[in-house]
Amino acid sequence: MKITELSNRLTAVFVIAFILFFGVLTLSEYGEKDFPEISAKTILNGSFGKVLESYMTENFAFRDRWLSAKADIEADMGEKIVDGVYISDGRMLGTEGARRDISLKNAENVNKFADNYKGTVYFTAVPTSSGVYAELLPDYLLSNPEKSQIATLYDGLADGIRKIDTYNILKMMNESYIYYRTDTGLTSYGAYYVYRAVIQKLGFLPSSYSKYTISHVKSDFRGNLYKRCFYDGTKPDILDIYSYSGGAEITDCTVCTDSGVTYKKQPDNMDFSESDDIYNMYLGEGNPFVKINTSVNNQKKLLVIKDSTADCLIPFLIQHYSEIAVIYPEYSEKNMSFFVDPDNYEQILFLFGIDSMSNENLLEMINK
Amino acid sequence: MLYSSLIFIYGFFPPSLLIYRIFSEKLRKTVLFALSMIFCLLCSPEMLVFLIFFTFVNYVVGLFTGAFRRKKLLSTLCLFIGVAFDLVMFFTFRTEKFIFLKERLRIPDEIFPIYFSFITLSALGYLIDIYKKRIRAEGNFINFGLYIMMFSKFFIVIRYSSFRKMLDGLSCDNSQMGKGLKIFVRGLVRKVIFADSLYMLYIAVKSINVLEMSVANAWLGMTAYVLCLYFTLSGLTEMSTGISCCFGMEFPPCFNYPVFSTKIRTFVSKWHIQVLQWFRRCLLKPLCDLSKNRLCHRLAYILTWCAIGTWYRTDVNGLIFGGLLGFFLMEEKFLCRLRLLKATGIIYTCMAILMFAVLISGDDISCSFRYILAMLGGNGVFADSMTLYLLRCYGVILMAGVFFSSMIFRNIAVRCGKTVADIISPVLTVVFLAVCTALISGSGHSAVLILNF
């Protein structure tokens, strides 16, 4: 047998064995997971092919290892961008900020709302880690920096609305651990500084940092950026929770869902340690409306309209208000009036990550 | 379904190979046809129905053209109907004008327009060959159906007569299968490793405002574009060739290391050989046969190049690209007389090809001309920090791309002797298959395409 022929035969054996090994392993879990249903109907409407393809992708044998191998190869091969996540020396940063289009429709909705509202409206747009650590990103991804995105948004808001600047404070603090390394969001430490800026504008003295006791929840946390790129080279994050010893406590927490079901939540038995979502860690799963009563006895009430970025800030605000109502527009298809009458609150705080502001219909619900 | 997807490599390919090998030689054609139907069905049932309809129309038109071969007028009429039908379908899929039809057929949009561009060439070539009496019309629907619809032949354009000969001896030999797998993995590497990372480089350059782009960035972007185009097209055809080889059909190679030629003419003769040959045989030759006038021949040459440009990109840019390149090719012989060109041929060709590539890459004509201006230094900046950053990130892959697309690589491979290549290739093939699998494991496929097909 000639050597070329032998080589070809060997290749055939190796490659077919390799393909069969992974192919059979992937498909052998047939029935255990949601394998696409084979029927004339699914085949004829074309869904079978699509479902089969995504089944194959999601349940591919040893998927986790393939993915982290992919991240390593891609980070070594070209630019350090894996699935839209830029991997810099110390942290991961999202790259979609460069293409983000800030919708002024949200600003218009807030303006319209403020016209009909007696109290004071405050607006805070919090940058993502890509905005604060922009200098780590390559130049061509900086044509539309978050700083100017925030400025555009604030320019669109009416004069009567008090705008709270957090970008410059966070920028100043960027040597500290204010953002997670593997997530776009603020750490509790970063949240504390945003809280200081916000609460001063709202007319209170911020609680001093030394009054908080810090408890470590987790030291191997990997956030939403990691879940996109699966790159293991960045150090995992530490999750901390700040509690104010001897301060006010939550006395009552009412949750309302979109279908109108209301139930009480025990604030003291929240178990954070198992939750792998830093956002759920503070307020529990995403609910459209949460009302928190506290032991503070000043009869002050605050309405917060927010996105997930703001979750980490709520625990800090508890020290100052006897009632805080929280509305989460992303999780609701109802209008705001379905949950709450804004005129019962003397202050309203809009608290959003700048990334949410590209969704132009987000704040439609506050005016209907 | 894409060739470079997990579902194809690990889900569709192994069972179809098994089924193919179980059946005896007589039934293999039918088996292949059935497998191709399943392939299309998994993409979208509407696509299957449409492809069968398309095949059937061409089959019938072919039969009629053949039947009237003694009556010139009638056979011309048949040919005209067939060509008109194919062209209408081609423009339907390639332009946005008929988007309602595309939506109605629920065509998976990422790759199908490309499939279809190749299929149209095959069908048109078949009809023209019958009309020119080079072949007889095919009576067996399965044979013709395989020529149009075979799942492993989507990126291959080949004469019907050669294809028909291959169908007669469908073997299934282990050694041939190994050879096919080697070619397939090579194509996969070209697409997934090279084309996809060069695409990222091209996109990075493209995101710079063209009015501020430095000279170095502009050239870097175009180099990435041309190499990416080369690796994409050659990768797709090699994957096609490799799979076909596993199923007993050996198609000739389509690219013969065209990048780094000494003349544009040489470049063109090595680039996408099957497709350019098709245009020469089915468009240029019939046009030249119409008249003996030299001027007419020159006009026909330019027209053919306009058609080629339009085939690559169906808009004004493609037309202008084709026309200019055709004109340039015709007049190149005057340049070739220059002594200087003997030494600097490669540089001249590369620069010219990059300039021409701007025309097919730009969003529109004015954008392309602004880009060319940037390449020539119109923005007054030679290089900036971005250039350094891009070179640092993509330097290695760019060098590797240049190396593997050049004759140097081929020459080294030849000098080392076949023995060395034969010994290491089985292991290398598996390693590269694993690397490519890792790279496509995130999304399940590698769909990015540089051509605005």
SS (H, E, C) B30-65: HHHHHHHHHHHHHHCHHHHHHHHHHHHHHHHHHHHH
As a whole number of angstroms, the distance between CA A29 and CA A352 comes to 43
As a whole number of angstroms, the distance between CA B430 and CA B235 comes to 17
User: Across A76-80, A191-195, A243-247, which has the greatest mean pLDDT?
Assistant: A191-195
As a whole number of angstroms, the distance between CA B34 and CA B27 comes to 11
Residue A16 and residue A132 in one domain: no
Range of the domain at A7: 3-61
User: Across A66-70, A260-264, A333-337, which has the greatest mean pLDDT?
Assistant: A66-70
DSSP category for residue A142: G
Q: Is the pLDDT of residue B72 over 70?
A: yes
Tell me, yes or no, whether A224 lies in a domain: yes
User: Of the candidates A9, A26, A73, which has its C-beta nearest B10's C-beta?
Assistant: A26
ipTM of this complex prediction, to 2 decimal places: 0.89
Gyration radius (Cα) of chain A, Å: 25
Residue A161 and residue A300 in one domain: yes
Residue A247: Cβ within 10 Å count? 15
Contacts of B423 in chain A (CB under 8 A): 3, 7
DSSP category for residue A186: B
Contact: B444, A10; criterion CB under 8 Å: no
Is residue A25 less than 8 Å (CB to CB) from chain B?
Answer: no
Q: Name the domain boundary from A46, A61, A76.
A: A61
Is residue A52 less than 8 Å (CB to CB) from chain B?
Answer: yes
Written as one letter, the residue type at A11 is: T
Contact: A73, B435; criterion CB under 8 Å: yes
Residue A145 and residue A17 in one domain: no
Is residue B311 a contact partner of residue B274, using CB atoms and an 8 Å limit? no
Contacts of A78 in chain B (CB under 8 A): 197, 200-201, 393-394, 397
Place of tokens 């020119």: B132
Tokens encoding A110: 């807030």
Q: What are phi and psi of A85, to 5 degrees?
A: -110, 125
- Kindly provide the b/e burial profile for residues B45-82, where b requires at least 16 CB atoms within 10 angstroms of the residue's own CB: bbbbebbbebbebbbebbbbbbebeeeeeebeebbebb
As a whole number of angstroms, the distance between CA B354 and CA B326 comes to 16
pLDDT of residue A338: 87
Rounded (10°) CA dihedral A318, A320, A323, A325: -60
Tell me, yes or no, whether A80 lies in a domain: no
Q: Is the pLDDT of residue A268 over 60?
A: no
Q: Name the domain boundary from A11, A44, A61.
A: A61
Higher-scoring residue by pLDDT: B209, A304: A304
Contacts of B176 in chain A (CB under 8 A): 8
Contacts of B242 in chain A (CB under 8 A): none
Residue A33 and residue A133 in one domain: no
- Kindly provide the b/e burial profile for residues A155-182, where b requires at least 16 CB atoms within 10 angstroms of the residue's own CB: ebbeeebebbebbebbbebbeeebbbbb
Contact: A15, B41; criterion CB under 8 Å: no
* Contact pairs from chain A to chain B, CB under 8 Å: 160
pLDDT of residue A336: 86
Contact: A19, B14; criterion CB under 8 Å: yes
DSSP-based three-state secondary structure for A244? strand
* Closest CA of chain A from B280, distance in Å: 36
Is residue A51 a contact partner of residue A36, using CB atoms and an 8 Å limit? yes
Tell me, yes or no, whether A68 lies in a domain: no
CB within 8 A of B143, min separation 6: which ones?
Answer: B29, B164, B167
Percentage above 70 pLDDT, chain A = 91
Scanning A151-210 for CB atoms below 8 A from B yields none
Q: What is the pLDDT of residues B236-264, one digit of tens each?
A: 999 999 999 999 899 999 998 888 888 88
Please state at what angle helix A3-27 crosses helix B13-22, rounded to 10 degrees: 120
Q: What are phi and psi of A78, to 5 degrees?
A: -130, -135
Q: Is the pLDDT of residue B335 over 80?
A: no
Residue A193 and residue A265 in one domain: yes
Is residue B185 less than 8 Å (CB to CB) from chain A?
Answer: yes
Query: What chain B residue is nearest to A4 in terms of C-alpha separation?
Result: B422
Tell me, yes or no, whether A87 lies in a domain: no
Residue A131 and residue A43 in one domain: no
Is residue B140 less than 8 Å (CB to CB) from chain A?
Answer: no
Q: What are phi and psi of A145, to 5 degrees?
A: -70, 155
Q: Is the pLDDT of residue A322 over 70?
A: yes
Scanning A329-358 for CB atoms below 8 A from B yields none
Is residue B288 a contact partner of residue B297, using CB atoms and an 8 Å limit? yes
Tokens encoding A194: 């945003």
Tell me, yes or no, whether A84 lies in a domain: no
Is residue B427 less than 8 Å (CB to CB) from chain A?
Answer: yes
Q: Is the pLDDT of residue B447 over 80?
A: no
For residue A269, name the pLDDT band (cuts at 50, 70, 90).
Answer: very low
Contact: A45, B45; criterion CB under 8 Å: yes
As a whole number of angstroms, the distance between CA A231 and CA A128 comes to 20
Contact: B11, A7; criterion CB under 8 Å: no
- Total domains present in chain A: 2
pLDDT of residue A36: 67
Q: Is the pLDDT of residue A47 over 90?
A: no
Residue A151 and residue A27 in one domain: no
Residue A165 and residue A42 in one domain: no
As a whole number of angstroms, the distance between CA A88 and CA A138 comes to 10
- Strand spans (E) along A245-340: 250-256, 262-264, 289-294, 301-306, 323-327
Residue A344 and residue A246 in one domain: yes
Residue of A3, A4, A6, A8 to mutate, testing the B interface (most B Cβ within 10 Å of its Cβ): A8
